[in-house]
């Protein structure tokens, strides 16, 4: 877990950071759709897990966009060298638990680790809100595979100065011979702008198409 403190005085977003960091709710969210047609075909051909496949592409894309690795700690901004995933995993009793899956650029390694963590969550009870799930060098991920969505909001604890990006995926649907996957991205405006979310979505789409 390696991180570097940003020199705020030299940051071109210094005033933006100071402005939005004072907000009761500094998060903003964007919902979009990505073309999952090629990704869907890859998953079917190799019998991959749909969830782990697009989860890996999302965290890989986020790692390539530096502001997605920024975190606010004690009023300072730190850039982590690498971020991972803390995803909610559903159980058969319709509860969920938090997970922690370490990022690895190789999908097969990531998927093996992810499957072990999924099984651990399914064989447990409660939230599993442990130290790993609370790590700042992660993304908060949720999957809502039961329905499509065009907007989404999150439960937020405003007295806790959160800066971890939150990404949600909905049910993929077929539209005019194309498979669309809804994706929601909520991020702290003190750390990034809509431009950076656009970069993430663009890279996420590129990785899905590989």
0.85 surpassed by pTM: yes
Q: What pLDDT shows up at residue 121?
A: 97
Structure-model confidence comparison of residues 188 and 1, the more confident one: 188
Q: How many residues are given for the chain?
A: 210
Alpha helix positions (H), 2-106 = 14-20, 37-46, 50-64
Q: What pLDDT shows up at residue 176?
A: 86
Unique residue bearing structure tokens 């995993």: 89
Indicate if the pLDDT at residue 175 is higher than 90.
Answer: no
CA–CA distance, 12 with 41 (Å, rounded to integer): 42
Q: What pLDDT shows up at residue 170?
A: 96
CA–CA distance, 16 with 34 (Å, rounded to integer): 29
Per-residue pLDDT tens digits for 73-82: 999 999 999 9
Per-residue pLDDT tens digits for 11-68: 999 999 999 999 999 999 999 999 999 999 999 999 999 999 999 999 999 999 999 9
Per-residue pLDDT tens digits for 89-128: 999 999 999 999 999 999 999 999 999 999 999 999 999 9
CA–CA distance, 145 with 87 (Å, rounded to integer): 14
Per-residue pLDDT tens digits for 132-159: 999 999 999 999 999 999 899 998 887 8
CA–CA distance, 169 with 196 (Å, rounded to integer): 19
Kindly list the structural domains of the chain, giving each domain's residue range(s) and its CATH number in brackets, ordered by start.
Answer: 3-208 (3.30.559.10)
Contact status, residue 126 vs residue 109, Cβ threshold 8 Å: no
CA–CA distance, 87 with 101 (Å, rounded to integer): 8
Q: What pLDDT shows up at residue 159?
A: 81
């Amino acid at each position: 877990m390696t991180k570097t403190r940003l020199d705020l005085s030299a940051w071109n977003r210094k005033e933006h950071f100071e402005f939005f960091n004072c907000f009761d709710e500094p998060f903003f969210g964007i919902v979009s759709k990505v073309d999952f047609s090629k990704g869907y075909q890859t998953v079917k051909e190799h019998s991959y897990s749909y969830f782990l496949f697009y989860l890996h592409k999302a965290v890989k894309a986020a790692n390539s966009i530096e502001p997605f690795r920024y975190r606010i700690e004690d009023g300072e901004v730190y850039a982590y060298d690498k971020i991972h995933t803390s995803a909610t995993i559903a159980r058969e009793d319709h509860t969920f638990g938090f997970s922690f899956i370490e990022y690895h650029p190789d999908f097969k390694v990531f998927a093996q680790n992810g499957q072990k963590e999924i099984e651990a969550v399914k064989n447990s009870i409660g939230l599993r809100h442990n130290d790993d799930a609370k790590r700042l060098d992660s993304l908060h991920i949720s999957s809502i595979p039961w329905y499509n969505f065009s907007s989404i909001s999150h439960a937020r604890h405003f007295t806790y100065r959160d800066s971890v990006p939150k990404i949600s995926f909905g049910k993929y649907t077929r539209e005019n011979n194309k498979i669309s996957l809804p994706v929601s991205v909520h991020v702290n405006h003190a750390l990034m702008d809509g431009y950076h979310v656009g970069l993430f979505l663009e890279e996420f789409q590129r990785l899905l198409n590989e």
